[in-house]
Amino acid sequence: MNNATIFTEFSDSSRIWIYGFETPLTPDDSNLVKNELNKFMTHWNAHGIPVQGGFTIVHDIFVILCADANQNVSGCSIDSSVQIFKSLKENHSLNALNYDLVYYKDNNYVNAISRNEFQQLINNDEVNQNTIVFNNTIQNLKEFQDDKWEVPLSESWHFKAFLKTSDLAIISKM
């Protein structure tokens, strides 16, 4: 995927938020999410001023929201975007608010698993430093377009957070 072609109407410093669902969206789920987000976008305000924003669904499991950098999107306006995802979870069992999940690629398929399960995959050598992981903590469009989102494990915060158990034993003896 070429991230540089997404949100081209926004500046590099525009804010983004990445929401990952627990499971891939079906076509019907995807349409529902798009409809809800389209409605939200028409009413998204920051301090009473309409937010110039957009969204896209990527890999059938992520929603990426973007807000123009020149607007003061904070506090209540961010909370209102989170409310959309709370509503999707409560009303349609589409959960994109489970922050315990790690997203990684296996043969070009995006998997969402718990942190404990991911640690087991590392310990069992089922994923390695070249495994593609998703850094959902990036905050601006430049990071997204510069391919800081979909990266090898060795280039992400995941690398330090998920050391192999055997590596932890070596480090603790130092």
- Domain limit, last residue, from 92, 116, 139: 92
Q: How many helices (H) and strands (E) does the chain have?
A: 6, 9
Q: Please check whether residues 74 and 135 belong to one and the same domain.
A: no
Q: Which residues contact 85 (CB under 8 A, 6 or more apart)?
A: 19, 63, 96, 97
Q: What is the pLDDT of residue 167?
A: 57
Host domain of residue 21: 3-92
Q: Which residues contact 28 (CB under 8 A, 6 or more apart)?
A: none
Q: What is the pLDDT of residue 174?
A: 35
- The backbone torsions φ and ψ at residue 147, rounded to the nearest 5 degrees and listed phi first, read 60, 45
Only one residue has tokens 């593609």, namely 132
Q: What is the pLDDT of residue 6?
A: 82
Q: Please check whether residues 62 and 127 belong to one and the same domain.
A: no
Closest C-alpha to 103, from 66, 59, 146, 65: 59
Q: What is the pLDDT of residue 46?
A: 85
Q: Please check whether residues 72 and 110 belong to one and the same domain.
A: no
Q: Please check whether residues 107 and 135 belong to one and the same domain.
A: yes
- Domain limit, last residue, from 92, 123, 151: 92
- Domain limit, last residue, from 32, 64, 92: 92
Q: Please check whether residues 88 and 116 belong to one and the same domain.
A: no
Work out how many domains the chain is built from and give that number.
2
Q: Please check whether residues 144 and 86 belong to one and the same domain.
A: no
Q: What is the pLDDT of residue 98?
A: 96
* Each residue's pLDDT tens digit, 150-168: 999 999 999 989 887 655 4
Q: Please check whether residues 67 and 113 belong to one and the same domain.
A: no
Instruction: Give the C-alpha distances (Å, rounded to integers) separating 156 from 11, 21, 81.
Output: 24, 20, 26
Residues (pLDDT < 50) of the chain are 168-174
Q: Please check whether residues 86 and 24 belong to one and the same domain.
A: yes
